Chain A
């Protein structure tokens, strides 16, 4: 059910994204920056989207929300929420889904709340934008939500301005805001990156608890594999605007397939082994303009061979629950083109 190749969405898939392509419109030729992204998020589960900055993970989430920056366009693809196609909805219908069916938490809790309004007013606005309730009822709901996310003295904090709260508290407020209308899908874009490690753990714990209580699905965007291991059910790894690997979370850590994923995992320090130099992946992510044919990771890949540099790999299914965009998993290509075999 994780694999995009299954055209029919099995029941229980809340979100089905297929072949998403985001581009910068340019006069001669559009520059594609997110290319052929497909994934599904089952109801009540968490999908982790992992990648370096610039890999297109945030753009993917903004596309799902329907709030791509004006200078970008959705070139093609399909997004279905509960079976309803979103890409063809009118902007007004799409807008009404935001904050109600799907909500988003952003990376920077320090700047994602409006500094000019009390936090309660910002939650009240969210509630009243989608529910026909009085101001007093919405305020009650705001306090209730603040309590739910574990904010002490919620009755007082509701009248605080964002600058009166710490980063961790603000992120709790953001979560309270996002969940105020009990959305079925929560997109969390690096929700803990800007926070202290201890606060990070609390926030992740909170998200897990609320997911169990409210039953929503979560897309968790992060560059932190530790966060993925703790919270996600399934993972997609993004590189240079593409998904290069998808797997169940246990499998990804136990048996990473794509050389890029392996590189990412190797560059996490291990508490038990002493190393002088922490391994890193040499080079940087290619820019969309410089991407030619061939595997986009080939220039940085320790296992690349000539064939990789000239031919773009498709997503190759490795087993029932995992797939990788890597020629190493195509036995025919390996047999015919891999130096180990051709030399023999």
Chain B
């Protein structure tokens, strides 16, 4: 087990290194931050040179990357070009709202997708199954920002039940969490359905019936338990997508999270903030996937973490 975790941590380091390369160079394709900062006036060449040197942008690009990497190893994410605040403190302030939003979205997705998927599989070929599959299709086809805007329009503007934007009270969670969760539940319910269908065809389900167990015991204890294995994997992978989703949803709902911080920073070409934010998102994704892998050995006795399967 310890060996397995160590190996996965090593993988995580490589992932973060690759992400650091990608984000470092791709953000520099967006343009010169100094030009954005002086967008209002007509600065002298001297002022431009001074600011460029101050931000460290006069160094060769490989040197800049080296400094970024060196600081990263000591968990120093640098300081914002715009505000001079440390990126670490900015991340610390925004990571909470983002994680809570992602968790709430995942919770909504699970609460919707499991009942829909299970009923669809058990009542295969019936009107209920058709309804469940239509729901999945709609969920998969909807762009989440559009759904967010529609929810704001109906439940905030027209009905006034929930706040349209902002953060703070439980009510603020309702619309963004539903927006995130509904989209994910479309694809998740489809996966729950197909996993359940596959499992319910297995011989051990017939065995369970032959024991005289009640149908719901067979479905949940013998069916769902085994259908969870592929589903949980998927949810782990999907958590990264969910985080990506929060970037857009935070924008729509003015949610003070990591995603909105990154978007604002991209617009301002605030390199360190973008780099730090993306690296932290990558770390969260890697950590969640590690947790999913560890949960395997609990869900599936045939897999022992560490690969020492007989």
Contacts and interface: CB of A to CB of B under 8 A. Distances in A.
Contacts of B28: none
Given A161-B301, A163-B302, A164-B310, A114 B211 contact: no
Nearest to A127: B211
A104 B213 contact: no
B272 to A, nearest CB: 48
Secondary structure at chain B's binding surface: helix, strand, loop or mixed? helix
Contacts of B301: 115-116, 118, 161, 163
Interface residues of A, number: 31
A111 to B, nearest CB: 4
A161 B304 CA distance: 12
A173 B192 CA distance: 30
Contacts of A177: 207, 211
B300 A98 contact: no
A308 to B, nearest CB: 37
Given A97-B212, A99-B210, A103-B210, A111 B203 contact: yes
B211 A67 contact: no
A177 B310 CA distance: 25
Contact of B211 (A125, A161, A163): A125
A135 interface: no
Contacts of A108: 203
B209 interface: yes
B206 interface: yes
B142 to A, nearest CB: 33
B225 interface: yes
A65 B209 CA distance: 9
B208 interface: yes
A117 B226 CA distance: 10
B8 interface: no
B211 A116 contact: no
A111 B202 contact: yes
A293 interface: no
Given A106-B207, A111-B204, A116 B212 contact: no
Contacts of B226: 114-116
Nearest to A115: B302
A125 B203 CA distance: 17
Contact of B212 (A96, A118, A161): A96
A125 B299 contact: no
A53 interface: no
A120 to B, nearest CB: 13
Given A111-B203, A116-B301, A95 B214 contact: yes
B222 interface: yes
A172 B213 CA distance: 21
A264 interface: no
Given A116-B226, A163-B302, A99 B203 contact: no
A114 B213 contact: no
Contacts of B212: 95-100, 129-130
A130 B211 CA distance: 9
The CB with the most chain A CB atoms within 10 A, among B206, B210, B225, is that of B210
A344 B203 CA distance: 57
A113 interface: yes
A41 interface: no
B211 A98 contact: yes
A67 B209 contact: yes
A215 to B, nearest CB: 21
A126 interface: yes
A18 B204 CA distance: 29
Interface in A52-87: 65, 67
Contact of A113 (B207, B210, B214, B302): B207
Contact of B206 (A67, A99, A115): A67
A65 B225 contact: no
Contact of B210 (A98, A111, A125, A163): A98
Contacts of A126: 211
B70 to A, nearest CB: 48
A112 B211 contact: no
A161 B210 contact: no
Nearest to B228: A116
Interface of A: 65, 67, 95-100, 103-104, 106-108, 111-118, 125-126, 129-130, 161, 163-164, 174, 177-178
Given A104-B206, A111-B202, A177-B207, 16 more contacts: A67-B206, A67-B210, A98-B209, A98-B211, A99-B213, A106-B206, A112-B204, A112-B206, A114-B204, A114-B208, A116-B225, A116-B299, A118-B301, A125-B213, A129-B211, A130-B212
29 contacts: A67-B206, A67-B209, A67-B210, A95-B212, A95-B213, A99-B211, A103-B211, A106-B206, A106-B207, A106-B210, A108-B203, A111-B203, A112-B203, A112-B207, A113-B204, A113-B207, A114-B207, A114-B226, A115-B204, A115-B300, A115-B301, A116-B301, A129-B211, A129-B212, A129-B213, A161-B301, A161-B302, A163-B301, A177-B207
